[in-house]
Amino acid sequence: MMDTAERLPILREPFGVLPDGRAVERLRLSGGNGFEVAIITYGAAVQALYVPDRAGAVADVVLGHDDLTPYLAQRHYFGATIGRYANRIAGSTFTLDGEICRVPPNEGANSLHGGFQGFDRQLWNVDAVGNEPEPWVRLSYVSAHGEEGYPGTLHTRLTYAITANGTLSISFEATSDRPTLANLTHHGFFNLAGVAVGESILDHRLTIYADAYLPIDPASIPLGAPVSVEGSPFDFRAGTPIGARIREAHEQIRLGHGYDHNYCLPDGHVAAPRLAARVEHPRSGRVMELLTNQPGLQFYSGNFLDGAASGKFDRLYRQSDAFCLEPQAWPDAPNRPDYPSARLDPGETYRHVSLYRFSTL
């Protein structure tokens, strides 16, 4: 660990202005040896993440944009904070204490990632920054009762921290003044080769430490109970290239246009983060391990990146340019009493901690 004298300052710089005149900031936190994260206050998003390879060469490993305008023009969730409810709610309705709650149907008949104006479309406040024990920034957002149809005023705090040993920590806390839902996640799009080179992620070797996943219907809503990954293209327990079975004639691969499924992590909600996934990029030697306390992990193989979005390094983002591993509650849990609950009551605190730990082979 670097001592205080060696730490680089947290840099705060302008990143554009919203149409209503509010300023967006970028905050850059350094862990040393080139490991650095850049966070923008619009959507509390990770705009860049620089990671060294086995030779010490540093590359940005997440999709994103160089300025604010494309974040406003198109909604791709690049690096964004998702809420109030990450993933999908079937029929855009759920019942809470006998009351039917209606949320925006922004993906056909269903609601995705918090509706039309989810947390990824909000300007977050910078509450505090610090360098002890490692560089960190705390952001907050207050979602009013009824916003996007969700009950309760939700006070959300998000802390990003970066360490000298190559770990990015993302911690959420939330409280509400009445019963509601809370299911927040980080929607990073990763490519460990470095996004500047434009390589596919299909050769990345993925391990997911889960024995079961949730099959989906044509609208990406879970069909029901978890199903074993045994003998299917969804079995990543031993470590397999992402592309090894992505073109198999499996009904779930067809419905998802690749992988876009929730993996059911052992033990559900846990107090301390446990290892959920590991990704290795053989050529660069970069390794990312994801630890989380959440009950589910959505694995998305970048199936709907179609070249319509241009990003950093003058690249058009296309299918399989990135993968997402999103720790969260299970999709449609508010309508499934057999799934781990995403309910938050007054007096309780929602806590989500995920660690992105980088190393090399």
SS3 62: strand
pLDDT score of 198: 87
Q: Could you say which DSSP state residue 2 is in?
A: -
Residue among 113, 187, 281, 352 flagged as catalytic: 187
Cα torsion 188, 191, 194, 199: sign: negative
Cα distances (angstroms) measured from residue 149 to each of 87, 113, 259, 313: 16, 13, 29, 38
Pairing mode, strands 296-300 and 23-32: unpaired
Q: What is the pLDDT of residues 159-184, one digit of tens each?
A: 999 998 899 999 999 999 999 999 99
Cα distances (angstroms) measured from residue 248 to each of 121, 218, 301: 36, 17, 14
Hey, which residues does 25 pair with through a beta bridge? 14
pLDDT score of 2: 38
Cα 252 from Cα 223, distance rounded (Å): 11
- Which ranges of 66-150 does DSSP label H, i.e. alpha helix? 68-73
69: left (phi over 0), alpha (psi -120 to 50) or beta: alpha
Look up 187 and say whether it is catalytic. yes
Residue among 173, 289, 326, 352 flagged as catalytic: 326
> Where does residue 230 rank: exposed (0-12), middle (13-18), buried (19+ CB within 10 A)?
exposed
CB 164 within 8 A of CB 131: no
Q: What is the pLDDT of residues 287-324, one digit of tens each?
A: 999 999 999 999 999 999 998 888 999 999 999 999 99
Beta strands in 209-313 (DSSP E): 212-213, 227-228, 240-241, 260-264, 274-280, 286-292, 296-300, 306-310
Look up 132 and say whether it is catalytic. no
pLDDT score of 6: 54
Residue 211, token pair as written in the block: 């024995």
- Where the chain has pLDDT below 50, the residues are 1-5
Cβ neighbours of residue 58 closer than 8 Å, sequence gap 6 or more:
34, 35, 50, 51, 52
CB 36 within 8 A of CB 50: yes
pLDDT score of 308: 87
pLDDT score of 5: 38
Pairing mode, strands 80-82 and 88-89: unpaired
Q: Could you say which DSSP state residue 92 is in?
A: G
